[in-house]
Structure 1
Amino acid sequence: MAIDLRDRFDAPHPVIGMVHLPPLPGAPGYDPATDDRDAIRTGMLEDGGIDGIMLENFGDAPFYPDEVPTSTVAEMAALATALTSAVDVPVGVNVLRNDAEAALSIAAAAGADFVRANVHVGTAATDQGVLEGRAHETLRLRDRIDADAAILADVHVKHATPVGDADIRRAALETVERGRADGVIVSGSGTGAETALEDVERVADVLAERDPERAPVFVGSGVASETVGDCLEAGADGVIVGTALKEGGETTNRVSSERVTELVSAARSSEPGE
């Protein structure tokens, strides 16, 4: 079952804002005395014109490699359900480090629109060890539980080094053609790190060569008001933004309404054809 990810968004070049969750119960950084999950605010994202929101257990480091505890799944399912009820834009789920099964299950329970798979095909060396793609399991699970969630998969995911063939063009083709991802993400080396525009161009071009109606390409890190236009010009169909929307440009700070409005405005004015 292929899903047209473009149909999930009202904007032709969507800006997806990140909700970086604080440490959840069970994570080393969790402190019940300062637990502020109930204070998570998405209004500034939606009010600023954001086109989608992605929920991520960012604060749970060090991350489980590929299977998080059931308590994490339960916490994120509850938060995702509250989020989908509170906003009118598409919602996505990313379960770090690479638990696409949990992400799909959460999305199905919460009625979310898409999930992110960090290592969908191939193999990557990471600080969690060597991670292997599980596209064969992820696609079958989506059909089995009838989850209406698109799969947005990373190509050469950040905070990782591909094992074996490092050709990003071939990796993109494998991700879409054999991994059957509905869209791909191209990122820099880490959270907030600028993405090489050459990589965006290579991925967009090689996918278009195989199929003019290619899967959408998103830029997944380092996007800012000053660079979002360059990302779209390079062939990106949308962007995923976290750090640049936070106060002071710090990933762990709260969302800044001014930064959200500024980046969304920059994206709108930079759309091809504008």
Structure 2
Amino acid sequence: MEIIGVIHLPRLPSTTIRSERRIEETIDQAVKEASTLERLGYDGVIIENYGDKPYMKRVSDPLTIASLAVITREVVRNTSLKVGVSVLRNSGREAYSIAVASGARFVRINSLVETLITDSGFIEPEAPNLRDLSVNYPGIEIYGDILVKHAVSLTALSRYNYLANTILGSLVMGYTLSEMLRDLIQDLTERAFVHKIIVTGLKTGSPPNPGLVAAVKKVSDKPVILGSGADPSNIKNYIKHIDGVIIGSYIKRDGKAGNPLDENRARIFIETVKNLLKK
């Protein structure tokens, strides 16, 4: 069971917007939080530009990308954790490049094979744009979301509605939600070459339906990661169907995403998971 904590960064510097704090302060805070999670027994962390709301579909500002690379590199250098990068909203190329340059070991990408409607606009699949990078610089694990939070999947909707409600659908003896999940997962694994699949709820801090997680696990030949909404009271509902968990909101002060790490909450969560695994 892989337990990964999220380092929610404040607004980062860019060529158009000043940061909320000096880059040195952000580095120190990120390293401090990562070191605390390492001491508590967490397996890894994701460095995420959470404070850069509202999110651009793709981050292209050179100062923001450089800042993320420097922060990530310092966390890699100062801990032995498995470090990952997430560049919201769907900057997969940038995240992968940062991982290569910083020594991070994985990236999280919200949309690899799905077209999404989001508050950032229409987001197209990132997998084709990663092809050359992943071939030339292999070794970075790709964690890909399916039906990601804060979004509606046009790919899933159109595929399901077309095949379930048309003549073609009747010819293939109907098209179930389970089959739709199977097809999306096959696209993720066979076309986008993901290493792990992330399942989330509808928004940050919101857990997915346990039935959805179980359904994904049933048809996936890749490890399944619970990607949002986990806490000590509900993790028991997922533990049999997941291979890992990404925990962000609960382990922050007052359980609010974007707040500093709360060591006591982080300790309670990992102890709860470890106790469940012993049963």
TM superposition score normalised by structure 1: 0.87
Distance (Å, rounded) in 1 between the aligned partners of 2:93 and 2:6: 20
1:159-195 Cα shifts (integer Å, max 9, x gaps): 1000043433432222112221111100001110111
Contact between 1:19 and 1:56, CA under 8 Å: does it hold in 2?
A: yes
- Preserved contact between residue 49 and residue 87 of structure 2 (Cα < 8 Å): yes
Q: Deviations over 1:204-243 (max 9, x none)?
A: 1011xxxxxx21100100000112222112x110000000
Identity %: 30
Q: Distance in 2 between matches of 1:160 and 1:196?
A: 16
Q: Number of aligned pairs? A: 253
**Partner residue, 1:269:** 275
Give 3-state SS (helix, strand or coil) of 1:60's partner: coil
Worse-matched range after superposition: 170-179 or 116-125: 170-179
User: Given residue 39 of structure 1, which amino acid in structure 2 is its aligned partner?
Assistant: D
The alpha-carbon deviation at position 268 of structure 1 amounts to: 1.1
Deviation of 1:51 after TM superposition, in Å, equals 0.9
**SS of equivalent residue, structure 2 residue 238:** helix
CA 225–186 in structure 1, closer or farther in 2 if over 3 Å, else same: same
Q: CA deviation at 1:137?
A: 2.1
- Contact 1:156 1:168 (C-alpha < 8 Å) held by counterparts: no
Residue of structure 1 aligned with 2:156, choices 165, 172, 189: 165
The match for 1:106 among 98, 113, 116 is 98
Alignment of 1:217 with 2:224, yes or no, is yes
Query: 1:94 Cα shift?
Result: 0.5
Alpha carbons of 1:38 and 1:52: their partners in 2 closer, same or farther (altered >3 Å)? closer
Q: Which consecutive unaligned segments of at least 5 residues does structure 1 have? A: 1-12, 208-213
Question: Alpha carbons of 1:58 and 1:29: their partners in 2 closer, same or farther (altered >3 Å)?
Answer: farther
Stretches of 4+ moved more than 6 A in 1? none
- Cα distance change, pair 180–62 in 1 and its aligned pair in 2 (3 A): same
CA distance 1:63–1:35, change in 2 (3 Å): farther
CA 200–108 in structure 1, closer or farther in 2 if over 3 Å, else same: same
Structure with more of its chain in helix, by fraction: 2
TM-score (norm 2): 0.86
Q: Secondary structure at the match of 1:108?
A: helix
Equivalent-residue separation in structure 1 for 2:185 and 2:147 (angstroms): 9
* Paired residue type of 2:26: R
Contact 2:113 2:192 in 1 (8 A): yes
CA-based RMSD of the aligned residues comes to 1.8
Matches within 5 A, 1:33-44: 36-40=25-29, 41=32, 42-44=34-36
| 1:29 to partner: Cα distance | 7.3
1:43 deviates by 2.2
Which residue of structure 2 aligns with residue 260 of structure 1? 266
Contact in 1 for aligned 2:112/2:126 (Cα 8 Å): yes
